[in-house]
Amino acid sequence: MSNREKIIVALMVLSVSYGAYILFFSTPPKSKIVSSVGDRQLEVLNTFITKVADKTKSGLSKEQAYILQKAQAEWKQDPFVQLQPKKVEVDTGPAPVLDARVRYTGFLQMGDRRLAIISGMEYETGDRLESGGFIIRSIFPNRVMVSPPGKNKKLMILPMDETE
């Protein structure tokens, strides 16, 4: 056993023995019961309340009024909206078009066999889609890679559509 392991075991034994001592042999501390709030504490609380009431009666400073006005104003843009960067498209000639009704909605994996559910039909790698004649090249849980029939054609990504 290395020195490191010996130190860890020793610390563990010490902590377990201390816990057993606390559990079985020590007496619980005596609890202090507070019967009522002291007069001094009650007086401090009352002075605080009167100061707050006086501040609200005297009105707001210019800075506080400005902050309140800005907080109540309607926002021009929702700060939680995530803006997507604009995509630059490079024109490489006429590209095959997937039908807009083609949606990748499910993924199944049974052993080495992967199935993609596209427009309600099950497809494997190498199958041809009913609409458009595209061939499925690879299937992943979050996307399917398809390409038009023939060699040297560009792969197109069909992302998972989980909105239903």
Here the CATH number for the domain that contains residue 122 is 2.30.30
Task: Identify whether 110 is part of a domain.
Answer: yes
Phi and psi at 147, nearest 5°, equal -145, 155
Query: CB–CB of 140/152 below 8 Å?
Result: no
Query: CB–CB of 144/136 below 8 Å?
Result: yes
pLDDT tops 50 at residue 91: no
| Range name among 13-17, 79-83, 93-97, 124-128 with the lowest pLDDT average | 93-97
In this prediction, residue 88 has a pLDDT band, given cuts at 50, 70 and 90, of: low
Q: How many domains does the chain have?
A: 1
Strands annotated E in 24-126:
104-110, 113-118, 121-123
Task: Identify whether 68 is part of a domain.
Answer: no
Task: Identify whether 111 is part of a domain.
Answer: yes
| Range name among 1-10, 46-55, 111-120 with the lowest pLDDT average | 46-55
| Range name among 86-95, 98-107, 110-119, 141-150 with the lowest pLDDT average | 86-95
The residue range of the domain holding 126 is 104-159
